[in-house]
Amino acid sequence: MGKINVFLLLISCIFGVVYGHETNSTLIGQKQLVQWCIAQPSAPQDELQGFIDYACGVVDCSAIQPGAPCYYPNMVVSHADYALNMLYRVKGSCNLYIAKIVMDDPSYGSCNYP
């Protein structure tokens, strides 16, 4: 089972690089539109968890740790939203196999997405 998850993670990372979105903001006229990378609600939970594990080895995921501002709701898709967006900010690509680009800020309550 572990080998399958690693394989699926590698495949999704490859698709993310190949089909990734290269910018996290767009300039239209004189107004800059900010974009966020968040999980597709229909993405498989095991692939989202695999991505969280990978991304949190690369970027700071302290905001989704217990007691932190983005921990609740304590759901894989919510934590994946944060991890996907953090990696998007650092690497400039969004894994469109399990994620999507949105123009609406996904921040909520005291949980602020960069």
Instruction: Write the pLDDT tens digit of every residue in 67-96.
Output: 999 999 999 999 999 999 999 999 999 999
Sign of CA dihedral 79, 105, 109, 113: positive
Determine what percent of the chain is predicted with pLDDT higher than 90: 70
Helix (H) or strand (E) run with residue 66 in it: none
pLDDT higher than threshold 70 for residue 65: yes
Helix residue ranges, H only, the chain? 2-18, 45-55, 76-91
pLDDT of amino acid 84:
98
Q: How far apart are CA 106 and CA 114, in angstroms?
A: 10
* pLDDT greater than 80 at residue 5: no
Amino acid at 31: K
pLDDT confidence of residue 7: 53
Of the two residues 114 and 11, the one the predictor is more confident about is 114
Q: Tell me the pTM.
A: 0.74
Confidence of residue 12 (pLDDT cuts 50, 70, 90): low
pLDDT at 106 over 60: yes
The pLDDT-based confidence of 22 (bands split at 50, 70, 90) is very low
Torsion, Cα 54 55 59 65, to 10 degrees, reads -90
CA distances 71 to 37, 67, 97, 100, Å, are 18, 6, 24, 21
